[in-house]
Amino acid sequence: MNSTLQQIDIEKFRKDFPILQQKVHGKPLVYLDNAATSQTPKIVIDAIQEYYLKYNSNVHRGVHRLSQLASEAYEETREIVQDFLNANSVQEVIFTKGTTDGINLLASSIGRGLIREGDEIIISAMEHHSNIVPWQIMCEDRGAKLRVIPINDDGEIIFEAFEGLLNERTKLVSIVHTSNSLGTVNPLREIIDLAHKKGVPVLVDGAQAVPHTKIDVQDLDCDFFVFSGHKVYGPTGVGVLYGKKAWLEKLPPYQGGGDMILNVTFEKTKFNELPYKFEAGTPNIADVIGLGVALNYVQKIGYDKISAWENELMWYARNRLQEIDGLRFIGNAKHRAGAISFVIENVHPHDIGTILDREGIAVRTGHHCTQPVMQRFKVPATTRASFAFYNTKEEIDQLINALHKVIEFFA
Ligand code: PLP
């Protein structure tokens, strides 16, 4: 059996994604913006459509047939996620709107439940804004302090600095697994081990991890893990917060409303058990069902093959990009996945993005919601190419050809 994907597999898998078959500006679409949103296979779209066509109904409420079908499909996704992350129980799987929503949930809940004046939260200098701003808001509310692990010139965290930041006031470490703008994969085992030695829980932002890498939350031993459906071939508007049961039981609910209660009187409300305590109101039923189908789809292909192929693609792209005059990588971490960021001397990333678009190539340009990373590397923006298992070396060759055109144009 092959340990990576072969051309023949990729051609077959690409047929699962109708959107990839189209032309943009008369050229075949080359989609290299997967870190922003990956594409959705037809089976996921079909599952969502089937829900609306055949059993659209609210969950956990009705005794009627449609509601039972919807509840079963919704809860089946919870089991799929439990298996996907290797969580200990379905009670540890909370459905959210996405990574941002999961972090806001925790920041609010931990803030009210655990944080006192003078406490500290540690993040890193490569975080997405969604793992900075919720903590800033919470710290301001609670009189707590945000501490930031610096990164080196290659875009890797400085471990000794992390060690120096951990102290008896630290209440949480919240850190990205894989950086969306640098492509760095962080040494999470070491980070989590060290934090736990000091009794500090760790939240992992897994938004850019789950599309590329097999995650085992028990093996990682993280206390919380968040990800978004739309970056792992699922729909937008849905994501997951995993939390160790002991922590989730300790924390107060985030939002109040239907489904998160056992009993309500005007004097007092008794909250529901996990995971419903953290799922107030009617959830995004259709997209939760779609997420389950997407996760089954990737698991069927297999993370060993996905990771091996994407790694091959990424290093092929890094090698070929070095041909481009004046190109400089932003982020040179040795352990990396998913995304490559670069700048080209005297050409603004937005101009690069616009010219590539005319060639049918979709890349991301801008600060990638990591403005502190741009400040650290003293660039206003970068161009980012990010990969999925359905990308090919021919597509990377097309990117390189188009970049040569950019250089000619600005010469
Ligand atoms: N964290 C990282 C590392 C990301 O790359 C992103 C999105 O790009 C997010 C968090 C936020 O994800 P979402 O917008 O799906 O909530």
Confidence of residue 411 (pLDDT cuts 50, 70, 90): confident
Q: Which residue has the higher pLDDT, 52 or 6?
A: 52
Question: From ligand 1's centre to the CA of 225, what distance in Å?
Answer: 13
For the chain, what is the mean pLDDT?
97
Whether 125 has a pLDDT exceeding 80, the answer reads: yes
Scan for tokens 């850190």, then name that residue.
175
* 353 three-state secondary structure: helix
In contact, 171 and 121? CB cutoff 8 Å = yes
Question: From ligand 1's centre to the CA of 262, what distance in Å?
Answer: 33
Question: What ligand 1 atom has the least distance to the C-alpha of 205?
Answer: 1
Give CA–CA dist 379/347, Å, rounded. Answer: 12
222 is catalytic: no
Question: From ligand 1's centre to the CA of 33, what distance in Å?
Answer: 13
Whether 298 has a pLDDT exceeding 70, the answer reads: yes
List, as one string, the DSSP characters of 24-86: ETTEE-EE-BTTT-----HHHHHHHHHIIIII---SSS--SHHHHHHHHHHHHHHHHHHHHHT
For a ligand 1 pocket test, name from 99, 230, 371 the mutation site with the most ligand atoms within 8 angstroms of its C-beta. Answer: 99
Question: From ligand 1's centre to the CA of 192, what distance in Å?
Answer: 21
Cα separation values, 224 from 172, 174, 221, 339, Å: 10, 9, 9, 24
Q: Whose CA is nearest to atom 4 of ligand 1?
A: 207
pLDDT given at position 62: 79
pTM score, two decimals?
0.97
Confidence of residue 8 (pLDDT cuts 50, 70, 90): confident
Tally Cβ neighbours within 10 Å of residue 21.
Answer: 10
- Catalytic pick among 369, 379, 400, 407: 369
Within 6 Å (CB) of ligand 1, which residues are found?
98-100, 128, 130-131, 176, 180, 205, 207-208, 228, 369
Reading phi first (left if > 0) and then psi (alpha if -120 to 50, else beta), residue 346 is in left
pLDDT tens digits, one per residue of 153-174: 999 999 999 999 999 999 999 9
* 314 three-state secondary structure: helix
pLDDT given at position 2: 65
Question: What ligand 1 atom has the least distance to the C-alpha of 177?
Answer: 3
Tally Cβ neighbours within 10 Å of residue 269.
Answer: 14
Question: From ligand 1's centre to the CA of 184, what distance in Å?
Answer: 15
Give CA–CA dist 237/229, Å, rounded. Answer: 8
Q: Is the dihedral angle over the CA atoms 284, 288, 291, 293 positive or is it negative?
A: negative
Q: Spell out the domains of the chain, with CATH numbers in brackets.
A: 3-37+302-410 (3.90.1150.10), 45-299 (3.40.640.10)
Question: What ligand 1 atom has the least distance to the C-alpha of 179?
Answer: 3
Token pair for residue 54? Answer: 């055949």
Question: From ligand 1's centre to the CA of 127, what distance in Å?
Answer: 10
Confidence of residue 6 (pLDDT cuts 50, 70, 90): confident
Question: From ligand 1's centre to the CA of 36, what distance in Å?
Answer: 8
Whether 321 has a pLDDT exceeding 60, the answer reads: yes
Could you give the angle at the alpha carbon of 130 between the alpha carbons of 129 and 135, nearest 5°? Answer: 95
Give CA–CA dist 155/71, Å, rounded. Answer: 44
Whether 294 has a pLDDT exceeding 80, the answer reads: yes
* 282 three-state secondary structure: coil
- Give the torsion through C-alpha atoms of 18, 19, 25, 29, to 10 deg: -90
In contact, 110 and 171? CB cutoff 8 Å = yes
For a ligand 1 pocket test, name from 130, 131, 373 the mutation site with the most ligand atoms within 8 angstroms of its C-beta. Answer: 130
Q: Is the dihedral angle over the CA atoms 236, 175, 209, 33 positive or is it negative?
A: positive
For a ligand 1 pocket test, name from 106, 128, 129 the mutation site with the most ligand atoms within 8 angstroms of its C-beta. Answer: 128
Question: What ligand 1 atom has the least distance to the C-alpha of 100?
Answer: 16
Whether 1 has a pLDDT exceeding 60, the answer reads: no
Q: Whose CA is nearest to atom 14 of ligand 1?
A: 100
Residues 6+ positions from 364 with CB-CB distance below 8 Å: 33, 35, 36, 353, 383, 384, 386
Q: Which amino acid is at 13?
A: F
pLDDT tens digits, one per residue of 341-377: 999 999 999 999 999 999 999 999 999 999 999 999 9
Q: Where are the alpha helices (DSSP H) in 86-152?
A: 99-114, 133-142
Question: What ligand 1 atom has the least distance to the C-alpha of 230?
Answer: 15
Nearest to 120 by CA among 180, 152, 164, 159: 164
In contact, 5 and 340? CB cutoff 8 Å = no
Cα separation values, 341 from 6, 361, 385, Å: 26, 15, 7
For a ligand 1 pocket test, name from 100, 215, 373 the mutation site with the most ligand atoms within 8 angstroms of its C-beta. Answer: 100
pLDDT given at position 323: 95
Question: What ligand 1 atom has the least distance to the C-alpha of 231?
Answer: 15
pLDDT tens digits, one per residue of 235-269: 999 999 999 999 999 999 999 999 999 999 999 99
